[in-house]
Chains A and B, each alone.
Chain A
Amino acid sequence: MSLELLGISVLWIFLFGYVIVASIDFGAGFFNAYSLLTGKQHILSKVIKRYLSPVWEITNVFLVFFFVGIVGFFPQTAFYYGTVLLVPMSISLILIAIRGSYYAFEAYGTKKGHKGYALAYGLTGLFIPASLSIVFSISEGGFVNIIESQPILDYGALFTSPLAWSIVMLSIVAVLYISAVFLTWYAKKANDEKASNLMRKYALIWAFPLIISSLGIIIELKSYPNEHFAAMTNLWWMFAISGVLFLATVWLIWARTGYGLAVMLLVLQFAIAFFVYGISHYPYLLYPYLTVYDSFTNKAMAISLVVAFIAGLCLLLPSLYLVLKLFLFNKDYVRGNQDYHV
């Protein structure tokens, strides 16, 4: 395996990790806010908060890891993406700032909760994936022009692009679907039938739009002037597996059998789709200007980053295991039988 491929694979795995945990996180915040608006907070708030509280900060680190890592392995991305993403990323940062802080203000700063804060972080959370997803659209090419050897973003083309809008759509719908499926299982584990049933309803509602928006992107890419779609069609069978997994997940939720399995299949479904997208995008980081090969850092730095990464994983994996054991898979904690908050 070349170092370039190794580097981008590691980063892609972490980005996938972020997509999943952040989707659960943002979706949970949104459902919490929605339940406040519709007067259903007595059903949902408790169980959502119990999940979110110990993990929100960890979620954020996945994102930091990705963007620090990509500039480390592929320093030229700093030049291309750094220049063109000033506005979209600044908006994401502002949303992330509001989301993270107001989450903490509500969860740790108030005993009984605060409606305004909960709405603030619930709504901003939904726009973060939308604003971040713009990077995927830009990476397809066609929105960046090189003028006087500087990359310039064509905002007009971006805002009128059906591809960009369908990716935004998918990002929002995916957040709602992923977190609804996860929380259905989590609430069930907490023996909270009411919350679990409500989340199940949301999961089923968002399943159909998910498929529609995914298909929308594929159709848009088909007519897009780059090699991405052609590369994707070579991997059609992987898409097929992902589709089957989707149907199986929905069936499991529908039939109320095996929510835990449903969550596993859901993660697998998204992993496959995410990797098909990534593999077919390879080796381009930004069509047609930037590939993983010409933007790659020097060998010495690449090797030291890989060594640091392995050392870091040895530290992180046991710690993450501890978090899962203490919070996600601990029955007493999930059911709220104990209150050990500081």
Chain B
Amino acid sequence: MINESSVFWSRMLTELTLSFHIIYATIGVGIPLMIMIAQYVGYKKKDEHYILLARRWARGFVITVAVGVVTGTAIGLQLSLLWPNFMELAGQVIALPLFMETFAFFFEAIFLGIYLYTWDRFKNHKRHMLLLVPVAIGASMSAVFITIVNAFMNAPQGFDVINGELVNIQPILAMFNPAMPTKVAHVLVTAYMTSAFVLASIAAFNLLKGSNHIYHKKALFMLMKLGLIFAIAAAVIGDFSGKYLAEYQPEKLAAAEWHFETEDGASLILFGVLDDEEVKYAIEIPYALGILAHNNPAAEVIGLDQYAVENVPPLYIHYLFDIMVMIGMFMFALAGIFVLGKWRNWKFISSKWFKWGIVAGGPLSIIAIEAGWWLAEVGRQPWILYGYMRTEEGTTASSHVDVMLLLFAGVYIILAIGSIVVLIRMFKRNPIEREIEDRHLQDGEHV
């Protein structure tokens, strides 16, 4: 018995929770690494500005972590509450990484607590910095394990189905499924990239709003360098993701590319509108789809004509793909020009309009993360477990999901407003100039 309205509302609620959680989760994965790098550079260069960067980021980070933790708890339980049939089935094969994720998260939580409350407590400051290693590892491993579960939903393996029963279950094989390498790498690298650009956006904003302190300039330069490295990595891994899709989920790639007919030498379509399977006003890059899919411009790329209509994902994911890729390229160019300009002393990178570009980069990166996840999730439709279980078969039979959606939407609004207000207040009340002054006064007393 499938309850159509439950399916719809369950999808809405899952989408809402994930879309909200992913903002805090992405930052939560990337920022510990940024804090660690800043603190390391600070000790290396004996430059208190970098150490203050680490300190101030850590202070803001706690707020975002809190929201990340509670929304992560929500999605963790919602998997069972909204998709009980799916969890009953998939739990038999993929419970291991979910379980391991709680340990990674545990590990991170413990050391984050210690790190936050032991500034200057150790005589050797570097030992304090070392506490960040388990925080950063725990954060990244959480992302790795959860992404493995998502990869399994796209490319399930490690079991056989005989008479409707799952047999020969191999949990490790299920974890190392074909979707896992590209997905995990892509999620990690884009989390680092997004975190760098979000922090860079804040630094640029501060510079625009009149605080010409060298502290913000150092932050900006360091973050743009890091962002550039991760943007390049993201592009390379994105290319591998294309090849994975062409091999294992060709209809997902074909739907994202509006590639209807199987053909050799296919071109890549950007933007455009769809008029009954006819693509209009699009930019076509000849042979690019063959390169993306198989590293060969002349290769045959499977089109949607090979699939039954009921197995094809919604075609609007094409726009999600475009948004993700365009923002990624924009950020790559922005960071590349900035770093190159610093090296070659180009004046315009210090101009106001360029800084506004960097400011825009923060929110844009978040939009790219959202678009990427929607692409990944909507692109897997109609399956919740690719090839084995359709989304509607996994849904709860309970009929109160619509009311829950309203409740959760209310809570997320409260949390979003709350976290933003708290963060703005926290840094407005204690701008960098004042903090440096206060710290010097304190040190003066000791001397």
Q: Report whether B85 and A64 are in contact in the complex, using a CB–CB cutoff of 8 Å.
A: no
Cross-interface CB contact of B58 among A63, A104, A110, A342, cutoff 8 Å: A342
Residue of B nearest to A70 (CB): B80
A82 with B84: CB separation less than 8 A: yes
Is A312 touching B103 in the complex (CB atoms < 8 A)?
yes
- Candidates B66, B99, B119, B426; contact of A100 at CB < 8 Å: B66
Q: Is B389 an interface residue (CB 8 A)?
A: no
Inter-subunit contact A109/B80 (CB<8 Å): no
Question: Could you say which of B80, B98, B407 contacts A82, with CB atoms under 8 Å apart?
Answer: B80
Known: A57-B65, A83-B397. A65 touches B102 (CB 8 A): yes
Closest B-chain residue to A300, C-beta based?
A: B169
Name the A residues within 8 Å of B415 (CB-CB).
Answer: 97, 101
The contact string, 1 if C-beta is below 8 Å from chain B, for chain A 136-178, is: 0000000000001110110000000000000000000000000
Query: Contacts of A72 on B, CB cut-off 8 Å?
Result: 91, 95-96, 98-99
Q: Which residues of A contact B91 (CB under 8 A)?
A: 71-72, 75, 78, 297
A-B contact count (CB 8 A): 236
The smallest beta-carbon distance between A55 and chain B, in angstroms, is: 6
CB distance B77 to A89 under 8 Å?
yes
B400, A78: Cβ atoms closer than 8 Å: no
Chain B, 375-432, CB within 8 A of any chain A CB: 396-398, 400-401, 404, 407-408, 411, 414-415, 418-419, 422-423, 425-426, 429
- The CA-CA distance from A333 to B121 in the complex, in Å, is 10
Assembly CA distance A79 to B82 (angstroms): 10
Instruction: Please report the C-alpha to C-alpha distance between residue A122 and residue B92 in the assembled complex, in whole angstroms.
Output: 39
Partner of B88, one of A75, A148, A298, A320: A75
Are B88 and A76 within 8 A (Cβ)? yes
- Measured between C-beta atoms, what is the minimum distance from A35 to chain B in Å? 22
Interface residue A304 (Cβ < 8 Å from any Cβ of B) = yes
Given A61-B105, A305-B99, A101–B66 Cβ distance below 8 Å?
Answer: yes
Residue from B85, B95, B115, B398 within 8 A of A71 (CB atoms): B95
With a cutoff of 8 Å between Cβ atoms, the chain A residues found around residue B102 in the complex are 61, 64-65, 68-69
Give the residues in chain A near B55, CB-CB below 8 Å: 342
Report chain A residues within 8 Å CB of B66. 57, 100-101, 103-105, 108
Interface residues of B in 66-88 (CB under 8 A from A): 66-67, 69-74, 76-78, 80-85, 87-88
Smallest distance from the beta carbon of B106 to chain A beta carbons, Å? 5
Contact call B425/A109, Cβ cutoff below 8 A:
yes
| A86-B93 in contact (CB<8A) | no
22 residue pairs from A and B, CB less than 8 Å apart: A54-B114, A61-B105, A68-B101, A71-B91, A71-B98, A76-B88, A77-B80, A86-B401, A89-B81, A94-B411, A101-B67, A104-B65, A105-B63, A105-B66, A109-B423, A110-B425, A150-B397, A300-B171, A304-B172, A319-B107, A322-B114, A340-B121
- What residues make up the interface of A, taking CB atoms closer than 8 Å to B? 53-55, 57-58, 60-61, 63-65, 67-69, 71-73, 75-87, 89-91, 93-94, 96-105, 108-111, 148-150, 152-153, 297-298, 300-301, 304-305, 308-309, 312, 315-316, 319-320, 322-323, 326-327, 333, 338, 340-342
Using a CB–CB cutoff of 8 Å, the interface residues on chain B facing chain A are 1, 55, 58-59, 62-63, 65-67, 69-74, 76-78, 80-85, 87-89, 91-93, 95-96, 98-103, 105-107, 109-121, 134, 166, 169-172, 396-398, 400-401, 404, 407-408, 411, 414-415, 418-419, 422-423, 425-426, 429
